[in-house]
């Protein structure tokens, strides 16, 4: 499972699931180019800590809503590392509201941050990956993209879009040895789910057969697997990492 020397981009690496992915991949010897948007101090702290442990981790500022920044980031990474082996599209937000109260801005903000960014980042890494004739792209979707969720029409639509995008691109790129998969996390303890009311958190916990909320490390382990040689015959799939919350047919 070693990822030694693999160059991997992780968007939204400054907090939550992304931070756990950055920590795990650095521990496996990957050269991680992580991004932050607003959390610059946190990014600096994680970078200093992991570099102090001998990890190859570099943070870059990226607003995934800005497609030209996405292109620029990939150029910087390929310019300094000479290649890009993996892309983890993790950055995401919620702007929850029942549909009657959901503004067009709430809709656009979530679709742009959670779905258009996946298009922009994936397109940006394609050229180097096509030249290399290898690459792994892992998109962080959500179980909500499979089941839907009241109050999250924008988020569910974006996450379902990520799954359909993944399948389409996996078909386009399979012959070039570029593998594209999705992870659908369930209820993971992060700042994002910390915003839920205690009642909502309790209801979610009650729907998890394994009886506990997930942590970022649960997702990071599956990301590392999908980047590894062990996953070389898997593409176009969505893997739910959710304690059994949603059981796919
Ligand atoms: P957090 O809110 O904890 O972290 C979000 C991350 O995304 C931060 O690093 C943040 O960076 C980054 N980000 C937000 N907006 C932008 C932007 N415009 N440009 C670049 N980066 C941005 O979320 P989670 O860790 O919980 O979620 C990570 C992913 O997992 C998301 O895609 C989410 O939808 C998905 N997910 C989460 C679940 C959960 O239960 N937590 C369940 C299912 C899916 P910064 O702070 O620097 O701005």
* Closest atom, ligand 1, to C-alpha of 64: 19
Is there a contact between 242 and 212 (Cβ–Cβ < 8 Å)? no
pLDDT surpasses 80 at 225:
yes
Q: What is the pLDDT of residue 249?
A: 80
Q: What is the pLDDT of residue 231?
A: 98
The whole-model pTM stands at 0.98
Which of these ranges, 38-42, 87-91, 171-175, 244-248, has the smallest mean pLDDT?
244-248
Radius of gyration of the chain (CA): 17
Q: What is the pLDDT of residue 121?
A: 99
Instruction: Give the tens place of pLDDT for each residue, 98-140.
Output: 999 999 999 999 999 999 999 999 999 999 999 999 999 999 9
Q: How far is the CA of 24 from the centre of ligand 1 (A)?
A: 17
List residues near ligand 1 (CB under 6 A): 11-12, 14-18, 36-39, 62-65, 90-93, 113, 140, 142, 185, 187-188, 190-193
**In percent, how much of the chain has pLDDT > 90?**
98
Q: What is the pLDDT of residue 164?
A: 99
pLDDT surpasses 60 at 1:
no
pLDDT category at 85 given cuts 50, 70, 90 is: very high
What DSSP letter does each residue of the chain carry, written as one string? ---TT-EEEESSTTSHHHHHHHHHHHHTT-EEEEEESS-HHHHHHHHHHHHHTT-EEEEEE--TT-HHHHHHHHHHHHHHHS---EEEE---------GGG--HHHHHHHHIIIIIHHHHHHHHHHHHHHHHT-EEEEEE--THHHH--TT-HHHHHHHHHHHHHHHHHHHHHGGGTEEEEEEEE-SB-SHHHHTS-HHHHHHHHHT-TT-S-B-HHHHHHHHHHHHSGGGTT--S-EEEESTTSS---
Q: How far is the CA of 175 from the centre of ligand 1 (A)?
A: 31
pLDDT surpasses 90 at 248:
no
Q: How far is the CA of 131 from the centre of ligand 1 (A)?
A: 30
Instruction: Give the tens place of pLDDT for each residue, 5-24.
Output: 999 999 999 999 999 999 99
pLDDT surpasses 90 at 2:
no
d(CA 115, CA 94) in angstroms, rounded, equals 12
* Closest atom, ligand 1, to C-alpha of 141: 44
């Amino acid at each position: 499972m070693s990822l030694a020397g693999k160059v991997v981009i992780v968007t939204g690496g400054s907090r939550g699931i992304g931070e756990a992915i950055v920590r795990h991949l650095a521990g496996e010897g990957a050269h991680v180019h992580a991004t932050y948007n607003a959390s610059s101090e946190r990014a600096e702290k994680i970078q200093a800590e992991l570099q102090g442990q001998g990890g190859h981790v570099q943070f870059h500022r990226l607003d995934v809503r800005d497609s030209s920044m996405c292109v620029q980031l990939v150029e910087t990474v390929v310019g300094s590392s000479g290649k890009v082996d993996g892309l983890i599209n993790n950055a995401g937000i919620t702007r929850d509201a029942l549909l009657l109260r959901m503004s067009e801005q709430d809709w656009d903000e979530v679709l742009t941050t959670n779905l258009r960014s996946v298009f922009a980042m994936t397109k940006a890494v394609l050229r180097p990956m096509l030249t290399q004739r290898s690459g792994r792209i892992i998109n962080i979707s959500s179980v909500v993209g499979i089941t839907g969720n009241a109050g999250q029409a924008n988020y569910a639509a974006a996450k379902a879009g990520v799954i359909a995008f993944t399948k389409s691109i996996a078909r386009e790129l399979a012959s070039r040895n570029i593998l594209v998969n999705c992870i659908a996390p369930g209820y993971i303890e992060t700042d994002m789910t910390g915003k839920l009311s205690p009642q909502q958190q309790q209801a979610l916990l009650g729907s998890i057969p394994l009886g506990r909320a997930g942590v970022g490390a649960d997702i990071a382990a599956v990301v590392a697997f999908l980047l590894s040689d062990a996953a070389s015959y898997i593409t176009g799939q969505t893997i739910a990492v959710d304690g059994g919350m949603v059981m796919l047919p």
